[in-house]
Amino acid sequence: MSLIALKKVDLFKAVPTRTLDSWLKGFNPLQREYRKGNFILLQGKEYNDLCCILSGEASAEFQDYGGKVLKVETLKASEAIATAVLFSPERLLPVTVVAQTDVTTLWVPRKEILRLCGMSAEFLETLLSDMGARLSFLAQKIRFLQFNTIRKKIAEYLLGQMQIQKTRSLVLPHSREMMAELFGVSRPSLSRVFSELCQQGVLKAEGKHCTVLEPARLRALAEEE
Amino acid sequence: MSLIALKKVDLFKAVPTRTLDSWLKGFNPLQREYRKGNFILLQGKEYNDLCCILSGEASAEFQDYGGKVLKVETLKASEAIATAVLFSPERLLPVTVVAQTDVTTLWVPRKEILRLCGMSAEFLETLLSDMGARLSFLAQKIRFLQFNTIRKKIAEYLLGQMQIQKTRSLVLPHSREMMAELFGVSRPSLSRVFSELCQQGVLKAEGKHCTVLEPARLRALAEEE
């Protein structure tokens, strides 16, 4: 039962079934159900067991001391929550996690996660890569927060991708939703500015494909004060 | 020689000498020297070997396409650079690293780092904790970037610490320098606002110790529009 549940979580997918099987002889991961609207994790509490979402959808929210609630992220089935917090020195959750639908979760103690790292190189690499991807996303986000207009953020982003992919016909690595999160802007605003740039003949964009028609004008946008 | 050098890097300090010794039978970490002003790592390049600073000081800089250079971070002796990038899916460096003094570095291939994780639970925990601490710092920084004034940032920070430490006599977990980086403000501006709050009788601050004298006024500051 636990084995089938584990196989639903991305973090464990690359681990050979035999390894998971022998790992699970040492302990029994808890499974818990939450009704829509229930709290799954609380901001400021210590985080000692990795929480994985098996089914349903949750949201991570941040509440400031002025009382404002800020939705930070949507958490979907197959995701492990806050892997990095589990290993940070203080282990304090920066957010509250709330069930947006009925949710089933699986809980794996921190020390069992460390034990699996020793048992499976595949797991270790997946875990490090998950943390690495998250960290590089946050680092980029901080960078984009300094560019004040959405046009400037898009220009910087596309010029960066042109340099990495060495072409003007780009395959964008982020969905529009992720891009909006990366830039710290709303998705409709992002789409509007993308459309404007297309109408002005600077870009041609279709889904994940984007061709920069006029690199010089894009560069000028990045240099705008 | 490599063993003595490794022991200078924080990441390897918790690993038993015997383990490091047998690990070093498998490969030989490179040591390289840089003159003040030289580039150590370049923004946009693939990062495959962990660079550790043995002596001297370097800075991480970010250059945008408008040509502006932004200093991101100071890197000191005993630090390992960008552990998370090494394990991120793309492995592309977001910054350029420049020697600020003469610098000596030690280079360890990514796959040897993974091998050491399998050999030493101490190393694995240190590596995960290093990445976890970094990630939680960036997540907090993004949170603080939303509060527009420095007073509001300080108020949120101190109210958060009061909740965690469950007292008004706080031992602050960050130096003034780190706090300025966390808030995305300059250090002199931060110190000025701290002094103002002390003069107004809201706080008493001395080094890492800070007592909140008037929690209600601090809460009012956090709620200001």
Domain boundary among A91, A108, A140: A140
Report the alpha-carbon distance of residue A154 to residue A149 in Å, rounded: 9
| Whole-number pLDDT of residue B225 | 67
Number of H helices, E strands in chain A: 9, 11
Q: Which domain holds residue A110?
A: 2-140
Report the alpha-carbon distance of residue A116 to residue A105 in Å, rounded: 19
- Best residue in A138, A140, A165, A171 for a mutation probing chain B (most B CBs within 10 Å): A138
| Whole-number pLDDT of residue A20 | 95
Amino acid, res. B106: L
- Residue pLDDT, tens place only, A33-47: 999 999 999 988 999
Which B residues, 141 through 170, put their C-beta within 8 Å of a C-beta on chain A? 141-143, 145-147, 155-156, 159-160, 163-164
Percentage of chain A modeled with pLDDT above 90: 61
Q: How confident is the model at residue B193 (pLDDT cuts 50, 70, 90)?
A: very high
Mean per-residue pLDDT over chain B, rounded:
90
For chain B, where are the E strands, in sequence order? 30-34, 39-41, 49-55, 57-63, 69-76, 80-81, 96-99, 103-109, 169-171, 203-206, 209-212
| Whole-number pLDDT of residue A180 | 87
| Whole-number pLDDT of residue A116 | 95
Mean per-residue pLDDT over chain A, rounded:
90
Edge-to-edge strands, sheet with A169-171: A169-171, A209-212, A203-206
Do B135 and A140 lie within an 8 Å CB cutoff?
no
| Whole-number pLDDT of residue B163 | 84
Give chain B's largest Cα–Cα span: 62
pLDDT, average across residues A67-72? 76
- My answer on whether A34 and A98 are in the same domain is yes
CA B177 to chain centre: 11
Do B88 and A129 lie within an 8 Å CB cutoff?
yes
Give chain A's largest Cα–Cα span: 62
Do A138 and B136 lie within an 8 Å CB cutoff?
no
How close does chain B come to A100, measured CA to CA in Å? 22
- My answer on whether B93 and B38 are in the same domain is yes
Q: How confident is the model at residue B145 (pLDDT cuts 50, 70, 90)?
A: confident
- My answer on whether B47 and B151 are in the same domain is no
- My answer on whether B199 and B130 are in the same domain is no
| Whole-number pLDDT of residue B1 | 67
- My answer on whether B69 and B159 are in the same domain is no
| Whole-number pLDDT of residue A87 | 92
The two tokens of residue B86 are: 């090494």
| Whole-number pLDDT of residue B41 | 96
- My answer on whether B17 and B97 are in the same domain is yes
Domain boundary among B78, B112, B139: B139
Percentage of chain B modeled with pLDDT above 90: 61
| Whole-number pLDDT of residue B8 | 92
| Whole-number pLDDT of residue A225 | 67
| Whole-number pLDDT of residue A25 | 93
Residue A191 or residue A65, greater confidence = A191
Percentage of chain A modeled with pLDDT above 70: 99
- Residue pLDDT, tens place only, A177-211: 888 888 888 888 899 999 999 999 999 998 889 99
Do B142 and A147 lie within an 8 Å CB cutoff?
no
Domain boundary among B139, B174, B191: B139
Q: From the list A67, A141, A146, which residue is nearest B142 (CB)?
A: A141
Q: For residue A222, which of A145, A171, A126, A147 has the smallest C-alpha distance? A: A147
What's the number of domains chain A is made of? 2
CATH number at residue B165: 1.10.10.10
Q: From the list B94, B128, B156, which residue is nearest A140 (CB)?
A: B94
Least confident window among A136-140, A144-148, B66-70: B66-70
Amino acid, res. A78: S
Do A142 and B141 lie within an 8 Å CB cutoff?
yes
- My answer on whether A135 and A173 are in the same domain is no
Taking the alpha carbons at both ends of chain B, their separation in whole angstroms is 58
Least confident window among A68-72, A150-154, B38-42: A68-72
ipTM of the complex: 0.82
- My answer on whether B90 and B17 are in the same domain is yes
- Residue pLDDT, tens place only, B74-96: 899 999 999 999 999 889 888 89
| Whole-number pLDDT of residue B74 | 87
Residue A155 confidence (pLDDT) above 70: yes
Give the chain A residue nearest B144 (alpha carbons): A64
- My answer on whether B102 and B191 are in the same domain is no
What number of C-beta contacts closer than 8 Å exist between A and B? 140
pLDDT, average across residues A104-109? 97
- My answer on whether A117 and A178 are in the same domain is no
Q: From the list B88, B128, B223, which residue is nearest A66 (CB)?
A: B223
Do A132 and B85 lie within an 8 Å CB cutoff?
yes
- My answer on whether A8 and A106 are in the same domain is yes
CATH number at residue A7: 2.60.120.10
- My answer on whether A11 and A53 are in the same domain is yes
Handedness of CA B214, B217, B223, B225 (dihedral sign): negative
* B129 interfaces chain A, CB cutoff of 8 Å: yes
- Most confident by average pLDDT, A32-46, A150-164, B129-143, B148-162: A32-46
Least confident window among A106-110, A159-163, B168-172: A159-163
